[in-house]
Amino acid sequence: MNSRSSRSDRPDQTAEGAGAGQVMDILFGHWRTELLLTAVESDLFTHLSGAPATAEELAARLGYRLPGAESFFVGLVGLGLLETEDGRFVNAPAAEQHLVRGRPGYMGGYLQFCRRELNPSWDGLGTALRTGLPQNRAAREGNPYHSLYEDKSATDLFLDSMDMFNSGIASHLADLDWSRYTSFVDVGGARGNIAHELASRHPHLTGEVFDLPPLESSFTEHMAALGGAGRVSFHGGDFFADPLPEADVLIFGHVLHNWGPEDRLRLLRSAYAAVRPGGAVIVYDPMVGDAVPSLYATLASLSMLVWSNGGREYSVDECHAWLKETGFRPETVALPDGVNEVLVVAHKDR
């Protein structure tokens, strides 16, 4: 065998083919995603929780057909989401914790929201880059949340995802010094996860969730399920059309990155009017710093490009500048490594 044919048998070793594996691995990422999303939609991991099954048994539970189903299950083993024990499939620890319906860390709602709402917008990434316009029709026509909340199933999936995303930051917010404050408003606070955590950790606080009126029933149900909701209430409204409720502290969590710079300034000016003297505004988002942003922040920013009306991730310096322009005195709060958020507290001196 000559050297040319030897190299052609191993293209990954040539200069031209050295990066082929890397490129293919990125492509395979989409296929891996489809394995995950299909498994979540079928509730496969919930079916397996506490009930290991052979390929034939699991296929029967899900209404799948062999032999394709077995390849699907083996693929989930390859992803590290399933394991095999004595010829039966069982959930891997990550799947048992985050993909079994009803668990506190359940991520299935967000994954299904991505499949139904966010991923279709990503299909138009090239168009969004050329035009600067969102690929979500509802966003092009105004506020995408108005149409999202018209669909109860889509709303439930979205609220599940919001709970999943804010659960990590909730304890860090509660760790702040709340001793000088007695009230707060979580602006765009969905069904009240953050508000419930703060009120539970600090019994002297009373809180409100300010969000679009269709979410009130979801808020009421969620608070009843969590218990101890007496000091947290819901205030329906549109923050671009209605004044924000007055309080010592207003919270903007995963809100500003949904909108363009002018809308962010509008919201912060409205917040300044609502915060009592000596109070504060709290902002958290996956902001970027002066260095090259993380892949997480970059993907979050592109998600805002394709799905929202002018949204993108922004830098910490930009956040500080907007807060100063509207009259606040901002400071960035240090968070532990591994937290994919930046937390800024901005004080209103008078």
Write down the pLDDT at residue 229: 55
pTM, to two decimals: 0.79
Lowest-pLDDT choice from 77-86, 127-136, 208-217, 286-295: 286-295
Helix ranges (H only) for 232-283 are: 261-274
Averaged pLDDT, 127-151: 79
Lowest-pLDDT choice from 50-54, 134-138, 323-327: 134-138
Give pairs for 56-59: CB < 8 Å, separation 24+: 57/88, 58/89
Distance CA 314, CA 349 (A): 25
Q: Residue 113's Cα: distance from chain center in Å?
A: 10
Write down the pLDDT at residue 304: 86
Q: Compute the Cα dihedral for 97, 101, 103, 109 and give only its sign.
A: positive
235 pLDDT exceeds 50?
Answer: yes
* Tens-digit pLDDT profile for residues 96-120: 999 999 887 888 888 988 888 889 9
Write down the pLDDT at residue 6: 39
* Tens-digit pLDDT profile for residues 114-129: 888 889 999 999 999 9
- Give the whole-number percent of the chain exceeding pLDDT 90: 58
Lowest-pLDDT choice from 25-29, 64-68, 139-143: 139-143
* Tens-digit pLDDT profile for residues 65-93: 999 999 999 999 999 999 999 999 999 99
* Tens-digit pLDDT profile for residues 298-312: 888 898 889 888 888
275 pLDDT exceeds 90?
Answer: yes
Name all domains of the chain by residue range, CATH numbers in brackets: 3-98 (1.10.10.10), 108-347 (3.40.50.150)
151 pLDDT exceeds 90?
Answer: no
Q: How many residues does the chain have?
A: 350
Write down the pLDDT at residue 270: 97
Which of 9-18, 140-149, 210-219 has the largest mean confidence? 210-219
Averaged pLDDT, 193-222: 92
> Which residues make beta-bridge pairs with 64?
none
Averaged pLDDT, 309-336: 92
Write down the pLDDT at residue 289: 63
Write down the pLDDT at residue 113: 83
Averaged pLDDT, 20-49: 94
Write down the pLDDT at residue 8: 41
The pLDDT mean for the chain works out to: 88
Averaged pLDDT, 230-237: 90
Write down the pLDDT at residue 73: 98
| 3-state class (DSSP) for residue 284 | strand
* Distance between start and end Cα atoms, the chain: 83
- DSSP class of residue 213 equals G
258 pLDDT exceeds 70?
Answer: yes
> Active-site residues: which are they?
257
